[in-house]
Structure 1
Amino acid sequence: MNGARDTGTRALNDGELPPFSAVLWRLVSLRDSALLAVFPLVLVGTALLPAETKRTLVFAYTDPTVITAYASHFVHFHVDHLLANLLGYLLVVPTTYLLSIFADRRRLFWTMFATVLLAGPFVLSGLNLAVPRDAIGYGSSGVIMAFFGILPVALYNYARPFFVSDLRARDLPVLFFLVVGIISGIVLPRSDATVAIAVVSGLLAAGYGGFILVRERRARNRLGSPSRPVRPFGYVELPLVGGVLLVGYPLVGFPSELVAANRVVNLYVHFLGFAIAFVAAYVGEVTHVLAETTGADAE
């Protein structure tokens, strides 16, 4: 049960929709834009530091410190590495933000954004120590994959009003299994383990997705397809962009070449970033729905 639908969600479903640009202008605040710009500005500012200074900020697994556990996730030594992470951020985070505010989940987005930005580096660095090795870690790919972990929840919240059936928060894992299937089946090096994970994730995603589609078809046969307002340009294109990113970004976030320019891509921290952030956002969404439902029942 999704509970009472809020004003922002109903706006996607009922009545005559205003131009997308007008709603965008009303929902996006200057403060939000400034906060979204903090992360890329920090990345650029850190990249401009002298190389010797940046070397003192990398996370050495054999000699970890609290400062490097956090700061290393903002350090880049190569322009291509920096540009790739900036591009990933500029694609994923603004899209997730827009999906969230149009679905009236601004608070959930900012809670997750702050959690990833403030706690994410410490969590990822700490979990890296679970695999002992004489190496160093730096770069923000893991953090950006954590931001990517919020995208499925934002996409679900935006798309929910398009369904006649009661799309539930418990249906969200279908998107998680879809991404895991793509990562393990297409991106990661082929092995018995990755093939097994890809097969299981693919079957779960296909089975659960098919169940949702069958449920939706039955609901439409029983209730009929409701009349929908003509959606001006932007309302449909935004979730399409989110869907393309959901399927396509893992191909970028998990590069096929694991060794490039004497750097080894840490796929472990990439996947951890995505998985942990998704679970946290999923729990946040379920908690929101429970609070919403409890409030509606109390009334």
Structure 2
Amino acid sequence: MIMSIIIIIFSLSESTRRTLSFAYAEPSLWTAYTAPFVHLSAAHLAGNVAVFLLVSGAFYALSRHVRTPWLFFSALVAALSIFPVTLSLLNLAVPRDAVTYGFSGVNMALVGFLPVAIGRYIEAKRGRPIDTGLLLAAFFLSVSGIAIFAVPRSPLASAVGTAGLTLCVLFGGSAVRQELRLADSRGRWRASASDPVVIVGIGTWILLLATAFPQTVATDGSVTNVYVHFVGYALGFMTAYLAHEWKLFENRVEKRVDTGRLGSS
């Protein structure tokens, strides 16, 4: 459905599509919602469609394997309802005389769901919950990587990169200590690390992050909005993490017995 909306809007005249873009100087709730579905070039459209198919395909595979599709479908609903307006309005935090459009910010919100989806898959395969500090460690590691490799060097970027690494070590170290207290933890983690679904999921996550935060952001008169990419990614991760941690849709502890039948070693 999402792709159908994007393609239908792309079939409109360019002048109509431009009126649906989000102008920072004249913002409105209507264009805040429509702008993420607008693309002015076939290359831009193809790129965002490819990213959406890749992230949603990985997402669906993880959800299907653990038979808990709520995260996948709730992410798609959010991509159609909440994320477009939220990301457009958050763009106003960086004032400039320009317009914004394109689905990349929403795509990055879906990418933010991936670490949690991978964590839930690992939980199901192991038959017991994982320490969610590992999810936070993965997120802060990615934040540090973005600050170090994708953002022009500055004191702020260095501070963010250092803070991200510090938080990664703190959350990761605490989670590892908790895991080592569990029986057969190392064997179960070795099995997870060699699982093809986990490998593909993590590879997709890393690939999409590298694509979303290029070192060269200005081409052919347009600028890649790395700010909205990061905000979308952070918003998606925190939404998925809180829903997972607070057990908003299902009880993780009760589910571990059922999902454990999927196999663990």
TM range (shorter): 0.7 to 0.9
Q: Does the C-alpha gap of structure 1 residues 69 and 166 become closer, same or farther in structure 2, counting only changes over 3 Å?
A: closer
Moved more, 52-61 or 204-213: 204-213
- Corresponding residue for 2:233? 274
TM-score of the superposed pair, with normalisation by structure 1: 0.76
Aligned counterparts of 1:295 and 1:167: Cα–Cα separation in 2? 14
TM-score of the superposed pair, with normalisation by structure 2: 0.84
- Contact map agreement 2:10 2:39 (CA 8 A) in 1: yes
Q: Does the C-alpha gap of structure 1 residues 165 and 200 become closer, same or farther in structure 2, counting only changes over 3 Å?
A: farther
- Corresponding residue for 1:19? none
Aligned-residue CA RMSD in angstroms? 2.8
Alignment of 1:200-219 (within 5 A): 200-219=163-182
- How big is the shift at 1:293? 6.8
Structure 2 residue 57 is matched with structure 1 residue 94: yes
Deviation readout 1:145-173 (Å, 9 max, x if unpaired): 01111111101000124558751334421
Alignment of 1:70-89 (within 5 A): 70-89=33-52
- Corresponding residue for 1:65? 28
Q: Does the C-alpha gap of structure 1 residues 50 and 154 become closer, same or farther in structure 2, counting only changes over 3 Å?
A: same
Aligned counterparts of 1:143 and 1:287: Cα–Cα separation in 2? 23
Q: Secondary structure at the match of 1:186?
A: helix
Moved more, 239-248 or 168-177: 168-177
Unaligned segments of structure 1, at least 5 residues: 1-37
- How big is the shift at 1:248? 2.4
Aligned counterparts of 2:113 and 2:186: Cα–Cα separation in 1? 33
Unaligned segments of structure 2, at least 5 residues: 256-265
- How big is the shift at 1:142? 0.5
Q: Secondary structure at the match of 1:219?
A: coil
Aligned counterparts of 2:196 and 2:186: Cα–Cα separation in 1? 25
Q: Which amino acid aligns with 2:240?
A: A
Give the number of equivalent residue pairs. Answer: 253
Q: Which amino acid aligns with 1:117?
A: L
Point out 4+ residue stretches in structure 1 off by more than 3 angstroms. 161-166, 210-218, 223-226, 293-296
Aligned counterparts of 2:106 and 2:150: Cα–Cα separation in 1? 19
- How big is the shift at 1:198? 1.4
Aligned counterparts of 2:187 and 2:171: Cα–Cα separation in 1? 22
Structure 2 residue 212 is matched with structure 1 residue 253: yes
